Copies of this chain bind each other. A is one copy, B any other.
Amino acid sequence: MKTPEEILKIMMNEDSFSQWMGIEIQAIELGSCTLKAEINSTMLNGFRIAHGGISYSLADSALAFASNSRGVQCVSIETSISHVKKVSEGDCLSAEATEIHRGKTTGIYNVLVKNQHNQIVALFKGTVWITETKW
């Protein structure tokens, strides 16, 4: 069976959008993952703060890497995010995915997105469907 690191490497190599976002891996373990990315000017919205889709995408990548780390492929069923603090150009975000529940068919993960001052900027929750396909 592949290790969390091996699976992550395969996924990240193919993941063009995570690469475009400049995502760096901080940590990967069975059921958890921490990512990092810096906000550049292309990532801003009509209010000139980070587009909500950027924090979401960072958290969604963390969800994917954390949930797939156990050796079987997982796909997202339902995700939600609350944006609680503005994110500006130059901010450096981290996203830490934690496994809250791992059943037979579904898994639930919380992802906490923080800025460089360790302030929470977004709270993400994701439910994944655990397939029978091994990595």
- CB within 8 Å of B: which residues of A? 10-18, 20, 41-48, 51-54, 56-58, 60-61, 64, 68, 73, 75-84, 100-101, 103, 105-106, 108, 110, 120, 123, 125, 127, 129
* Majority DSSP secondary structure for residues of A touching B: mixed
Extra contacts, 16 of them, besides A15-B45, A57-B57 (Cβ < 8 A), are A16-B43, A17-B53, A18-B45, A20-B42, A45-B64, A47-B75, A56-B60, A77-B82, A78-B80, A78-B82, A78-B127, A79-B82, A101-B123, A105-B129, A106-B129, A127-B127
Chain B residues within 8 Å of A11, by CB: 45-47
Copies held by the complex: 4
Can you pick out 14 interface pairs between chain A and chain B where the beta carbons lie within 8 Å of each other?
A: A10-B46, A11-B47, A14-B44, A15-B45, A16-B43, A17-B42, A18-B45, A51-B57, A52-B76, A53-B60, A54-B57, A57-B57, A79-B83, A84-B103
Asked if A52 and B77 make an inter-chain contact with CB atoms under 8 angstroms apart, the answer reads no
